[in-house]
Structure 1
Amino acid sequence: MKPHFNIPCVILCGGKSSRMKEDKSLLPFANKTSLAKYQYERLKPYFNDVYLACKANKFDFHADLLLEDSDIYSPIVALNNIFTKLNSKKVFVITVDTPLVEISSISKIIEESNSYDITVAKTKRVHSLCGVFSNNIKPLTIKMLSDDFHKVGYLLDNSNSKIVSFDNDDEFINLNRPEDYQKALSLIK
């Protein structure tokens, strides 16, 4: 029986993709026209609601969007926008460029998030945008934005956070550069 999660899922698709040199959310992936479509269709069966957080509708498929009206490219802007627009106590957040995170890992993160404001994954490093975020962090995101401070690590360090360890670094590969994209394409086969 497949798991079903009673919190919304938000896929972050609003980054600059500066190291990739093109919008990575629109790169074809596996058998889908884009990484965004791949992530959306892969996660949709497990969550009541799946949203794409982005600056504009650039997609070739229908999805619920959480549009950001900010010129600043920042996960803190995205998180603040999520909790401004969604009436939800907690959300599962994942970046569009981590397409290999397994559902069992997502399940473990969600299970371990009960009494925490932020619960994120860690392999060799902390994956600070793969986890469960509570709306309790909104006052801190507002303060960080007013101070023009955008470090997710600071948000983790100054919240009731839990880090969940995983062994498989490849599962959490982040497609920042063309070589990361090629590696993920070979791993997905």
Structure 2
Amino acid sequence: MNTSPLDIPCVILCGGKSSRMGEDKALLPFDSSKTLTQYQFDKLKKIFKKVYLSSKDNKFDFINKEQLIIDDSDIYSPIIALNSIFTSLNDKNIFIITVDTPLIKLDSIKKLISSHNSYDITVAKTHRIHNLCGIYNREKSLLVIDKMLSEDFHKVGFLLKELNTQYINFSNEDEFINLNDKNEYKKALSIIS
């Protein structure tokens, strides 16, 4: 039975250090939105019934506390964030996306979800793999993440290799641009305008 994309929760990862950006990219203005996070949240609310934010702290003024998953570790790691998400939510599958990929099309997200089928993880791929843009089976992922954390190992690529992962190819590189520095941020602003 296929699950409607609307029934799968979406979690936006926005608790990174933003060291290359030089300031918290989650709080940068984007398009007509006050912040990049609010832009992503409002966009993703169009197709998901439940959208959550994963962060180290509550730095957002547009959500309620039930929509926030706090990762209270001192370590900045997507694996720790995923662990917090998968232990906080009980859904079988969860869509994960980073705050700094605002140009992904909603149709591309729907394609990822509809392609998921019996895989443990389904992620986007262009010339590179987009580890944190896809749908994850919570239970299967947690089993590997528990082992990874016990060994202090934090590579998301390892998680994908350990599980039954499907890679869905996309041709538009700009759609998956990560806003890691000022130049990428400016490029995304010019594309969106």
TM-score, structure 2 normalization: 0.95
Once residues 137 and 60 of structure 1 are traced to their aligned partners in structure 2, the CA distance between those partners, rounded to angstroms, is 31
Residue deviations 1:66-100, cap 9 Å, x none? 01111111110111111100011000000000000
* Structure 1, unaligned runs of 5 or more: none
The residue type paired with residue 123 of structure 2 is V
Match for residue 152 of structure 1? Answer: 156
Match for residue 186 of structure 1? Answer: 190
Alignment of 1:164-179 (within 5 A): 164-179=168-183
Once residues 26 and 93 of structure 1 are traced to their aligned partners in structure 2, the CA distance between those partners, rounded to angstroms, is 19
TM-score, structure 1 normalization: 0.97
* Structure 2, unaligned runs of 5 or more: none
**How far 1:40 moved relative to its partner?**
0.3
Once residues 146 and 16 of structure 2 are traced to their aligned partners in structure 1, the CA distance between those partners, rounded to angstroms, is 20
Residue deviations 1:129-187, cap 9 Å, x none? 00001111101101111111000111111111000000000000000010000000000
**DSSP 3-state at the match of 1:94:** strand
How many residue pairs get aligned? The number is 187
Residue deviations 1:97-116, cap 9 Å, x none? 00000001000100111211
**How far 1:6 moved relative to its partner?**
1.4
Quote the RMSD (CA, aligned, Å).
1.0
Off by >6 Å, runs of 4+ in structure 1: none
Once residues 146 and 164 of structure 2 are traced to their aligned partners in structure 1, the CA distance between those partners, rounded to angstroms, is 17
The residue type paired with residue 82 of structure 1 is I
Contact 2:121-2:166 within 8 A present in 1 as well: yes
